Amino acid sequence: MRDVVEIGLGKTAQRGYHLDDIAIVPSRRTRDVDDVSTEWKLDAYPFKIPCVAHPSDATQSPDSVIALGRLGGLGVLNAEGLWTRYEDPSKILEELASLDEDADATKRLQEVYSEPIKPELIGARVRQIREGGVTVAVRVSPQHTLALAPVILDAGVDLLVIQGTLVSAEHVSTTDEPLNLKEFIADLDLPVIVGGCTDYKTALHLMRTGAAGVIVGVGADEWSTTDTVLGIRVPMATAIADAATIWTRPAAGTCISSPTAASPPPVTSPRRSAAAPTRSCWASRCRSPRAPRPAAPGGTRPPATRPCRVAGSASPASPTALSKRSCTARPTARTASSTSSAAYVVRWPSAATATSRSSRR
């Protein structure tokens, strides 16, 4: 039971912990360095180090994305940043970096970002990153996802990151039609990472949309004044632990995808493994296989069936390849690899983890 503290008359809150409040203590058992691996996978894309870059113009350019990818991490390019608004924003970035404290930096930022996004530059940046031989990941904000997604997908990305300061699966608006993450992700044939979120319930709802990963946190840095001006901040240690606990102890009816070796889908990217796994569902209840999607105007569309609408897709040739046992399997114990995380992305368990759990029952 988490500590509940009184913060005022009639007001109580659960205690949360920041990363500065905790420390990692070595255990009684040590392990040889040759027996330790930092490799991990996001869907079917392998990486050598658990590092996912924040899609910021301050750190991520096409060159830095390629450099990080070659080192084994995942770089993410911002599709709404300066690199998709200007042919060469290097001089603008140098100007922004050289602004002194007396300059009106906010006004200058508004001026440079008023330049419209150019779809042809999105395609050019994606091609440049792909020619570098690394996994191509592009970030877009939730409010611009529907408008920019066709351009980004036509450019040929491997991973799509839908990231905002705060993102939920139940956004409410009386003026605009909100993005339905569940339907949007279900119609895509590539992995999607969604975030950020700050608590257990929001992370749970985002996982139920079928996302391949969830971003935890709001992306604030040491120069952010949100916590001091508004009093809004996130206890990251607690937020990460809560999000990682969801798939180790899933709520009833929660669909959390786990790769399995059955029926590999077609290879669509040179970076995607030829034995790319499909997904089975760890939920207690699954929906029936999804009906084939209607044919597109002027052409045909191959049928796509899903043993679980949330968990992912199965091969059209074998829609029932996953047995009911794989759908009702639930984790019963926490293993050493149960809380894997890549930077701020919480990923789902691997097939090896699922196999080890099944063998212990």
d(CA 325, CA 285): 11
Question: Are 240 and 175 part of one and the same domain?
Answer: yes
Total tally of structural domains belonging to the chain: 2
Residue scoring higher pLDDT (353 or 13): 13
Q: Is residue 157 part of a domain?
A: no
Q: What is the 3-state secondary structure (H, E, C) of the chain?
A: CCCEEEEECCEEEECCCCHHHCCCCCCCCCCCHHHCCCCEEECCEEECCCCECCCCCCCCCHHHHHHHHHCCCECEEECCCHHHCCCCCHHHHHHHHCCCCCCCHHHHHHHHCCCCCCHHHHHHHHHHHHHCCCCCEEEECHHHHHHHHHHHHHHCCCEEEEECCCCCCCCCCCCCCCCCHHHHHHCCCCCEEEEEECCHHHHHHHHCCCCCEEEECCCCCCCCCHHHHCCCCCCHHHHHHHHHHHHHCCCCCCCCEEEECCCCCCCCCCCCCCCCCEEEECCCCCCCCCCCCCCCCCCCCCCCCCCECCCECCCCCCCCCCCHHHHHCCCCCCCCCCCCEECCEEECCCHHHHHHHHHHC
Q: Which amino acid is at 83?
A: W
Residue 109's domain comprises 38-136
Which pLDDT does position 65 carry in this prediction? Answer: 96
Report pTM: 0.68
pLDDT band at 251 (very low <50, low <70, confident <90, very high): low
d(CA 116, CA 82): 10
* Alpha-carbon distance values, 180 to 56, 139, 142, 184 (Å): 25, 17, 10, 6
Phi-psi region of 133 (alpha: psi -120 to 50; beta: other; left: phi over 0): left
Question: Are 244 and 312 part of one and the same domain?
Answer: yes
Question: Are 132 and 235 part of one and the same domain?
Answer: no
pLDDT tens digits for range 39-49: 999 988 999 99
CA dihedral 61, 211, 221, 341 (to 10 degrees): -100
Burial of 321 (0-12, 13-18, 19+ CB in 10 A): middle
pLDDT tens digits for range 308-357: 433 333 333 333 333 333 333 333 333 333 333 333 444 444 444 443 44
Give the CA angle between residues 189, 192, 194 to the nearest 5°: 155
Tokens of 44: 């079917």
Q: Is residue 141 part of a domain?
A: no
Tokens of 121: 């530059």
Tokens of 109: 């930022």
Share the mean pLDDT of the chain: 74
Which pLDDT does position 99 carry in this prediction? Answer: 87
pLDDT band at 225 (very low <50, low <70, confident <90, very high): confident
Question: Are 110 and 214 part of one and the same domain?
Answer: no
pLDDT band at 249 (very low <50, low <70, confident <90, very high): low
Q: Is residue 144 part of a domain?
A: no
Question: Are 65 and 213 part of one and the same domain?
Answer: no
Average pLDDT over every residue of 174-192: 88
Question: Are 57 and 170 part of one and the same domain?
Answer: no
Q: Which amino acid is at 18?
A: H
Question: Are 67 and 202 part of one and the same domain?
Answer: no
pLDDT tens digits for range 107-128: 999 999 999 999 999 999 999 9
Question: Are 130 and 169 part of one and the same domain?
Answer: no
* Alpha-carbon distance values, 14 to 7, 18, 108, 246 (Å): 10, 13, 41, 18
Which pLDDT does position 318 carry in this prediction? Answer: 36
Final residue in a domain of this structure, among 86, 119, 136: 136
Question: Are 337 and 213 part of one and the same domain?
Answer: yes
Which pLDDT does position 332 carry in this prediction? Answer: 33
Question: Are 230 and 332 part of one and the same domain?
Answer: yes
Residue with tokens 């009911």: 324
